[in-house]
Chain A
Amino acid sequence: MRAGYLYLLIAVMLLGLSFLKDKQKTREAVKATFKIFYVVLPVLVFVLMGLIQAYVSREFIVSILGQKSGLLGIFYAEIIGSIALFLPPAVFPFGGYLHDNGASYGAIAGFVFTAILIGVTTLPLELKLFGKRFTLARNLLTFGLTFFIAILMEGILP
């Protein structure tokens, strides 16, 4: 059985449980689910994956993000993650795609962390709410610590 069906089964069971407890809240949850579905479904990222499939060779991906690219590969992956305008749900399919095409676990970890935690789109809001010093320090520290974690993950995962 596909893992997806199992999750669907659990989701429907939870919906039922929620319905038994509170009908109104469950109605709200179902409404929210439709909205979330559109946000979560990363169609444009699928297209980007298709474009890479058509125009970028596997050798190229391996050469910049593969195991042999080492520390520089992790660094490149972090740069890509920092500037990529991905919503979190799009990060994993794209990361998996890169891994299937030869990117190392370390590079993927670098990409995943920076794509979720550093965002060009959220930068203005962070600056406005928390100020220059906080924003600069948090983003730089995130980039730096991600680098170390990515190296460790590369070492731990086969």
Chain B
Amino acid sequence: MKKMLKNDAFWFLSLSVLIILVVYGFNAGKGVIVAKTVYDTFFEVLDIIVAVSIFIGLFQVWVKPQTIVKLLGKGSGLKGFVLVCTFPILMGGSLFTVFPLLKALREKGARIGAIASFITAWGGKAPLLPLESKFLGWPFALVRIGFVIIFAFVMGFLMDWVGENTEKIKQEKSFLVDL
């Protein structure tokens, strides 16, 4: 029981049932519409979500995020930039897991453009392709992932430009202090 109360999924489920009941209490017809939408969508995606969960689980065990970061840390120059704009597309997880890894990469000397490119490319979300193609179609999914790569490149250039300007401002400031 204690374990159940700690589980977010348990709370989300309870909250969902509560919302449906409240809507049903106010207006039975609307309550049925909400419940039916939840029921239909749930069974529409159940098999895909199980499959995606297995993909991500396997990927997490066989390709650890640390491995990817290490790989990217080694690549420098254009090759590193291309890697950083494409490889993270394959990663799962949320920004909460990605940010700390990138912080470590930054401390090892990665440019801020590379960090920003990584985050943008991570938004490609290839492990979720089965979900995306089911709900939005393959043309949308593939065109979007193509744009993610361009997006990541442009983002890297722009963020490096922002970063350089920061350095300049810092230098000017320290110059003033020295005076």
Give A residues with C-beta under 8 Å from B. 2-5, 7-8, 10-12, 14-15, 18, 25-26, 28-34, 36-41, 43-44, 46-47, 49-51, 53-55, 87-89, 92-93, 95-97, 99, 105, 108-109, 112-113, 116-117, 119, 122, 125-126, 129-130, 133-134, 137-138, 141-142, 145-146, 149, 152-153, 156-158
Whole-angstrom distance between the Cβ of A57 and the nearest chain B Cβ: 13
Stretch at the interface among B11-19, B65-73, B76-84, B171-179: B11-19
Residues of A within 8 A of B86 (CB): none
Is B23 an interface residue, CB under 8 A from the partner?
A: yes
Whole-angstrom distance between the Cβ of A83 and the nearest chain B Cβ: 15
Pick from B36, B49, B106, B115: contact of A40, CB under 8 Å = B49
Whole-angstrom distance between the Cβ of B61 and the nearest chain A Cβ: 4
Cβ contact within 8 Å between B38 and A14: no
Cβ contact within 8 Å between B30 and A7: no
Cβ contact within 8 Å between B9 and A38: yes
Cβ contact within 8 Å between A133 and B119: no
* A-B contact number at CB 8 A: 218
Cβ contact within 8 Å between B16 and A117: no
Cβ contact within 8 Å between B49 and A142: no
Distance in angstroms between the alpha carbons of A40 and B32 in the assembled complex? 25
Q: Which 4 A-B pairs have the closest CB atoms?
A: A96-B135, A4-B47, A50-B34, A33-B57
Residues of B within 8 A of A43 (CB): 9, 12-13, 16, 38, 42
Residues of B within 8 A of A29 (CB): 54, 57-58, 60-62
Give B residues with C-beta under 8 Å from A. 7-9, 12-13, 15-16, 19-20, 23, 30-31, 33-38, 41-42, 45-58, 60-62, 92, 94-96, 99-100, 102-103, 106, 112, 115-116, 119-120, 123, 125, 128, 130-136, 139-140, 143-144, 147, 150-151, 154-155, 158-159, 162-163, 166
Cβ contact within 8 Å between A3 and B134: yes
Residues of A within 8 A of B19 (CB): 47, 51
Distance in angstroms between the alpha carbons of A126 and B159 in the assembled complex? 15
Cβ contact within 8 Å between A49 and B15: no
Given contacts A8-B50, A89-B49, A149-B147, contact A137 B94 (CB under 8 A): no
Distance in angstroms between the alpha carbons of A126 and B95 in the assembled complex? 9
Cβ contact within 8 Å between B123 and A117: yes
Pick from A33, A55, A134: contact of B112, CB under 8 Å = A134
Residues of A within 8 A of B119 (CB): 117, 138
10 pairs from A and B in contact (CB 8 Å cutoff): A26-B61, A36-B57, A46-B16, A47-B16, A49-B41, A53-B34, A116-B123, A116-B125, A138-B119, A138-B155
Pick from A51, A92, A153: contact of B132, CB under 8 Å = A92
Given contacts A46-B38, A130-B115, A157-B139, contact A14 B33 (CB under 8 A): no
